[in-house]
Structure 1
Amino acid sequence: MIVCHCTQISDHDIRAAIDWMRAADPQTIITPGKIYHALGKRADCGGCMPLFLDTMRGCDNLGVPPLLRGLKAMRKGESHEGRRKGHRVSQRSASI
């Protein structure tokens, strides 16, 4: 099935690109941009993006690599990238 008419990308092309990327680097995060790049194409109008993403999600090899799973849970104790609570200028002037 043709997913992107502008660049003639099929669902088979997307699945093959995902399989190739996963085999080349099991730890990689696969994005639509990387798939377009692997196929030697560029997104044009973006009308295909919902179908493109659905096709990606349907692929078995798309999952997040095991090494990267749970990173959000590990960061729960951190807040605001280590900044103090009153890091904004408007909050500093109000506290002075």
Structure 2
Amino acid sequence: MLICHCNIITEKEIEKAIIDLLDSDPWQLIVPAKVYHYMKKRGRCCGCFPNVVETIIRVTEDYHVRSEAGGVDIVSHLARVRELRVQYGSRTHERRPTNHRAA
């Protein structure tokens, strides 16, 4: 699935970048800018960043579940990040008007 139309980046490329970053340091904070910097790209319109955040959360959770770390060590704040995203992110729609069309 194509995530970033400006840079032509697929979901699989983003997932691979996130896993590579987690392999270097499993407990680092990964944000969209870090993923794009790792891929030697830059956010242009940044409309894809909410989807990248969801991908980061999903891949990070899966990574830590599969790792040797026990269930106690798995980052619990990811659920809070998802709650905040629902609480604040869905209401503003990235500050775009409701009649905005992406394509």
Contiguous gaps of at least 5 residues in structure 1: 71-96
Matches within 5 A, 1:11-90: 11-59=11-59, 60-61=62-63, 66=73
Q: State the TM-score, normalized to the length of structure 1.
A: 0.59
Q: Rg: which structure is higher?
A: 1
Runs of 4 or more, structure 1, over 6 Å off, are: 67-70
- Are 1:18 and 1:62, in contact at CA under 8 Å, matched by a contact in 2? no
Cα deviation 1:42-81 (Å, max 9, x = unaligned): 0000121222222222212379xx49868xxxxxxxxxxx
Q: CA deviation at 1:18?
A: 0.8
Change over 3 Å in CA distance of 1:19–1:47 after alignment to 2: same
Q: CA deviation at 1:8?
A: 1.1
Question: Could you say what the CA RMSD is over the residues aligned between the two structures, in angstroms?
Answer: 2.7
Which structure has more helix as a fraction of its residues?
Answer: 2
Contiguous gaps of at least 5 residues in structure 2: 66-72, 78-103
Q: Find the residue that maps to 1:3 and give its secondary structure.
A: strand
Q: Say which structure, 1 or 2, has more relative contact order (CA 8 Å, 6+ apart).
A: 1
Total equivalences in the alignment: 69
- What letter is aligned with 1:27? W
Q: State the TM-score, normalized to the length of structure 2.
A: 0.56
